[in-house]
Chain A
Amino acid sequence: MVMKHTIAVLVNDQPGVLQRVSGLFGRRGFNIESITVGQSEEVGLSRMVIVTLGDQNTLEQIEKQLYKLIDVIKVVDLGSKPMVARELALIKVKSEPAERPEIMGVVETFRASVVDIGSTSMLVQVVGDTQKIDAMIELLKPYGIKELSRTGVTAMIRGNA
């Protein structure tokens, strides 16, 4: 059964490591829905969080193939346990002054925030899981979205694990 999987990959912070990982996905026909990279808790190691689509066999192959890369230290299937997954989006939405209160209403309901206002546009920042951001975008669409930038998912297992 094809499912969405979220995996965290701890890698040596070496030049080219992102290319090694993304290249592996590309040439083996694995899907990358989103990929985020940044520092981890340890100096010299980065954490990548990759959202991918596939069945259980594909997920198993992805993990095994990732472990073949010398710069990969650890691979964790985050979906195997309860996790917190978040992404951030910046949405530049058209807004004549008259529409601003209405848009502010949507923003407040979603506990998002307005981080900039131009003469005919507003910049909305929203943080949450993917569904929340999808919903926010749907609601802002009628006003006219001029520009949209999403970070992709970063995630972590809940609790002490």
Chain B
Amino acid sequence: MSAQIPEVQSVEELLEKWKQPEVITGSEILLRSLVLEGVDTVFGYPGGAVLYIYDALHNFKEFKHILTRHEQGAIHAADGYARASGKAGVCIATSGPGATNLVTGIATAFMDSVPLVVITGNVFSSLIGTDAFQEADITGITMPITKHSYLVRDVEDLPRVIHEAFHIANTGRKGPVLIDIPKDVSAAKTLFAPVNTVNLRGYNPRLVPNKLQLEKLVRAIAVAERPVIIAGGGVIYSGAHEAMYEFVKRTQIPITTTLLGLGAVPSADDLWMGMPGMHGTYTANNAIQECDLLINIGARFDDRVTGKLNGFAPKAKIVHIDIDPAEIGKNVKPDIPIVGDVKTVLEMLNPDVSRTAKADAWRTQIAQWKMDKPLRYNDSESELKPQWVIEMINETTKGEAIVTTDVGQHQMWAAQYYKFNHPRSWITSGGLGTMGFGFPAAIGAQMAYPERLVVSINGDGGMQMCSQELAICAINNIPVKIVVINNEVLGMVRQWQTLIYNKRYSYTDLAGSPDFVKLAEAYGVKGLRATNKEEASAAWKEALETPGPVLVEFLVPKNENVYPMVVQGATIDQMLMGDEE
């Protein structure tokens, strides 16, 4: 049928063309529907069950398809693309092992409320349930880690399902949606009529908050002596950063941003206290414990933030603003619950709150804490300290880069020492803590913003969990600057062993790691190494000046720990400050 389509030049013309009903295959319906949803990049890996889809992709030029080297790379890249752009990330994998290789990435996106549309192939409908070759019940496997999922049994359903999937993924509390398409469905033909309406009776996210609750909050702000804001990823996902900053400026309330909320307000602002929780700042944690009003905006009271729940913010009246009603009261019972979209809530609140001279003593106290116990580390001239490396990256990029990290010590140091100016410039796996996430996520972010500087900060452990994607950086000239902070151990796990397990270092030594410079070069990516400050500055300068992807390895000592640290089971003001070292 496709031969009958006359030559068209632009996507707009295609869109116009595709509004006309035409008999085409399920695979073509899928691809056209993706274009109609505004998709410009898809990450994927072919296999038997998606062969019809890949056949249709062969000459399809309306969006880019990036062939990763592992399905895990594809889904983390789609995730990075989504976090950077705010659009749903899309990835395609085949049935069975292809689909199950996505599981970690789907769970990662689910925990951090990232919109993804995940397309998997499945075996022929007639073979489903027979343990056929490369069959896996992927909708069943992923049910607990998707916002919703579809197993499409009839090609007629495809246009509706795809449109619903994008709608569900990117509205309300965002999240991954899986579409499983049996091989015969992707081959079957039907009359394609695009769908642009959604009729989901049970799905109606509440954006506008209850006005009475807002009034309660306005009154609570007016009388509070020691108010604090905790802002989370929800501020960024709802595009509320400007309204957020206005709220902070109007109320002059000190603010702490969670790991996923970094960038919600500029780090340079005096009212910003850093990150709270396990590796939060002395100031943020003490402020939470001493405050009389805690306003949680789009964060979910994760246990890494609250520490021991019984004893968290003991003096505070608690306000919780979240689009997901189930988050309210799940971990911390609020005095003022507000269900709604963070941006809508803040825009409604802002005219009613005014710059207040109240609570000057509180702000003085906070300034004092910041002065007394800033983030600090013992720098060295003989060794390269990882915190110093982050500070150097921060200084050279001026907070303008998109930074992705993997998971572990380097992640916490980056969160602590990198200073953020913008939302969507910090991409990290928070909820699931997925090693192997950072590097492919950077590829996705770079695909979303080809012109921006994307820096991927990794540990030597996580880098080895998806290092095969160096190939796609090289092949597609994706100019990610890849940083490997190499301390030759599984640093964060080792840190726990140091502090909690009596220095019994059980299997955290990563001896046998590859030569990362040679590894990069083997894939055709430039590799550089630094062992001291001088080399580090020179290598990093060279990396920034070199077009295309570059990997820079920084060799750092293995004994360096992340401080402050709140041990599990303690309240967050019981911080180890690392002063004894």
> What distance in Å separates the Cβ of A59 from its nearest Cβ neighbour in chain B?
12
Q: Which B residue's beta carbon lies closest to that of A62?
A: B326
- A23–B139 alpha-carbon span in the complex (Å): 13
Decide if the interface of chain B is mainly helix, strand, loop or mixed. loop
- Residues of the A chain whose Cβ atoms lie less than 8 Å from the Cβ of B151: 15-16
Question: Which of A11, A12, A68 contacts B324 (CB under 8 A)?
Answer: A68
Beta-carbon contacts of A130-152 to B below 8 Å, as 1s and 0s?
00000000000000000000000
CB neighbors of A among B322-358 (8 A): 324-326, 328-330, 333
B202 touches A73 (CB 8 A): yes
- A24–B143 alpha-carbon span in the complex (Å): 9
- Residues of the B chain whose Cβ atoms lie less than 8 Å from the Cβ of A99: none
Known: A16-B140, A20-B143. A65 touches B326 (CB 8 A): yes
- A140–B168 alpha-carbon span in the complex (Å): 53
- A23–B143 alpha-carbon span in the complex (Å): 8
Question: Which of B168, B202, B325 contacts A64 (CB under 8 A)?
Answer: B325
CB neighbors of B among A58-89 (8 A): 60-61, 64-65, 67-74
- Residues of the A chain whose Cβ atoms lie less than 8 Å from the Cβ of B330: 61
- Residues of the A chain whose Cβ atoms lie less than 8 Å from the Cβ of B143: 16, 19-20, 23
Beyond the given A57-B329, A68-B173, A71-B202, please list 15 additional residue pairs across the A-B interface where CB-CB is below 8 A.
A12-B201, A16-B143, A16-B151, A19-B143, A23-B144, A60-B329, A64-B328, A68-B147, A68-B324, A69-B202, A70-B148, A70-B202, A73-B201, A73-B202, A74-B202
- A73–B200 alpha-carbon span in the complex (Å): 9
> What distance in Å separates the Cβ of B365 from its nearest Cβ neighbour in chain A?
34
CB contacts between A and B, total, < 8 Å: 45
> What distance in Å separates the Cβ of B401 from its nearest Cβ neighbour in chain A?
35
- A72–B325 alpha-carbon span in the complex (Å): 15
- Residues of the A chain whose Cβ atoms lie less than 8 Å from the Cβ of B202: 11-12, 67, 69-74
Scoring A15, A57, A61, A68 by chain B CB atoms within 10 A of each residue's CB, the highest score goes to A68
B326 touches A64 (CB 8 A): yes
Q: Which B residue's beta carbon lies closest to that of A26?
A: B144
CB neighbors of B among A91-128 (8 A): none
Give B residues with C-beta under 8 Å from A.
139-140, 143-144, 147-148, 151, 168, 173, 200-203, 324-326, 328-330, 333
- A24–B324 alpha-carbon span in the complex (Å): 16
User: Can you list 28 pairs linking A and B with CB atoms under 8 Å apart?
Assistant: A12-B201, A12-B202, A16-B143, A16-B151, A19-B140, A19-B143, A27-B144, A57-B329, A57-B333, A61-B326, A61-B329, A61-B330, A64-B326, A64-B328, A65-B326, A67-B202, A67-B325, A67-B326, A68-B147, A68-B173, A68-B324, A68-B326, A69-B202, A70-B147, A70-B148, A70-B203, A71-B202, A72-B202
- Residues of the A chain whose Cβ atoms lie less than 8 Å from the Cβ of B326: 61, 64-65, 67-68
- A24–B144 alpha-carbon span in the complex (Å): 7
3 pairs of A and B residues whose beta carbons are closest in the complex: A64-B326, A70-B148, A73-B202
Question: Which of A27, A60, A67, A70 contacts B200 (CB under 8 A)?
Answer: A70
- A37–B325 alpha-carbon span in the complex (Å): 26
- A70–B140 alpha-carbon span in the complex (Å): 15
- A20–B168 alpha-carbon span in the complex (Å): 16
On chain A, the number of residues with a Cβ less than 8 Å from chain B's Cβ atoms is 22
- A71–B200 alpha-carbon span in the complex (Å): 8
> What distance in Å separates the Cβ of B316 from its nearest Cβ neighbour in chain A?
19
A16 touches B329 (CB 8 A): no
CB neighbors of B among A9-43 (8 A): 11-12, 15-16, 19-20, 23-24, 27
> What distance in Å separates the Cβ of A161 from its nearest Cβ neighbour in chain B?
21
- A20–B178 alpha-carbon span in the complex (Å): 14
- A23–B330 alpha-carbon span in the complex (Å): 18
- A27–B144 alpha-carbon span in the complex (Å): 8
> What distance in Å separates the Cβ of B160 from its nearest Cβ neighbour in chain A?
13
- A12–B203 alpha-carbon span in the complex (Å): 12
A70 touches B325 (CB 8 A): no
- A20–B202 alpha-carbon span in the complex (Å): 14
Known: A61-B329, A61-B330. A16 touches B168 (CB 8 A): no
- A160–B135 alpha-carbon span in the complex (Å): 49
Q: Which B residue's beta carbon lies closest to that of A66?
A: B326
Q: Which A residue's beta carbon lies closest to that of B202?
A: A73
- Residues of the B chain whose Cβ atoms lie less than 8 Å from the Cβ of A60: 329
- Residues of the B chain whose Cβ atoms lie less than 8 Å from the Cβ of A24: 144
- Residues of the B chain whose Cβ atoms lie less than 8 Å from the Cβ of A12: 201-202
- Residues of the A chain whose Cβ atoms lie less than 8 Å from the Cβ of B328: 64
> What distance in Å separates the Cβ of A62 from its nearest Cβ neighbour in chain B?
10
- Residues of the A chain whose Cβ atoms lie less than 8 Å from the Cβ of B139: 16
> What distance in Å separates the Cβ of B37 from its nearest Cβ neighbour in chain A?
18
Beta-carbon contacts of A46-64 to B below 8 Å, as 1s and 0s?
0000000000010011001
> What distance in Å separates the Cβ of B303 from its nearest Cβ neighbour in chain A?
15
- Residues of the B chain whose Cβ atoms lie less than 8 Å from the Cβ of A70: 147-148, 168, 200, 202-203
- Residues of the A chain whose Cβ atoms lie less than 8 Å from the Cβ of B200: 70
- A19–B143 alpha-carbon span in the complex (Å): 9
- Residues of the B chain whose Cβ atoms lie less than 8 Å from the Cβ of A65: 326
- A67–B147 alpha-carbon span in the complex (Å): 12
Q: Which B residue's beta carbon lies closest to that of A57?
A: B329
- A155–B143 alpha-carbon span in the complex (Å): 28
- A24–B168 alpha-carbon span in the complex (Å): 19
- Residues of the A chain whose Cβ atoms lie less than 8 Å from the Cβ of B144: 23-24, 27
> What distance in Å separates the Cβ of A65 from its nearest Cβ neighbour in chain B?
5
- A15–B137 alpha-carbon span in the complex (Å): 13
- Residues of the B chain whose Cβ atoms lie less than 8 Å from the Cβ of A73: 201-202
Q: Which A residue's beta carbon lies closest to that of B149?
A: A16
- A157–B203 alpha-carbon span in the complex (Å): 25
- A19–B329 alpha-carbon span in the complex (Å): 26
- A23–B144 alpha-carbon span in the complex (Å): 7
Scoring B139, B168, B201, B330 by chain A CB atoms within 10 A of each residue's CB, the highest score goes to B201
Q: Which A residue's beta carbon lies closest to that of B164?
A: A70
- A16–B143 alpha-carbon span in the complex (Å): 9
Q: Which B residue's beta carbon lies closest to that of A20?
A: B143
Q: Which A residue's beta carbon lies closest to that of B203?
A: A70
> What distance in Å separates the Cβ of B165 from its nearest Cβ neighbour in chain A?
10
- Residues of the B chain whose Cβ atoms lie less than 8 Å from the Cβ of A57: 329, 333
> What distance in Å separates the Cβ of A75 from its nearest Cβ neighbour in chain B?
10
> What distance in Å separates the Cβ of A1 from its nearest Cβ neighbour in chain B?
16
Q: Which A residue's beta carbon lies closest to that of B328?
A: A64
> What distance in Å separates the Cβ of A37 from its nearest Cβ neighbour in chain B?
16
- A74–B201 alpha-carbon span in the complex (Å): 9
- A70–B326 alpha-carbon span in the complex (Å): 14
- Residues of the B chain whose Cβ atoms lie less than 8 Å from the Cβ of A67: 202, 325-326
- Residues of the B chain whose Cβ atoms lie less than 8 Å from the Cβ of A27: 144
- Residues of the B chain whose Cβ atoms lie less than 8 Å from the Cβ of A64: 325-326, 328
Q: Which A residue's beta carbon lies closest to that of B153?
A: A15
- A16–B328 alpha-carbon span in the complex (Å): 28
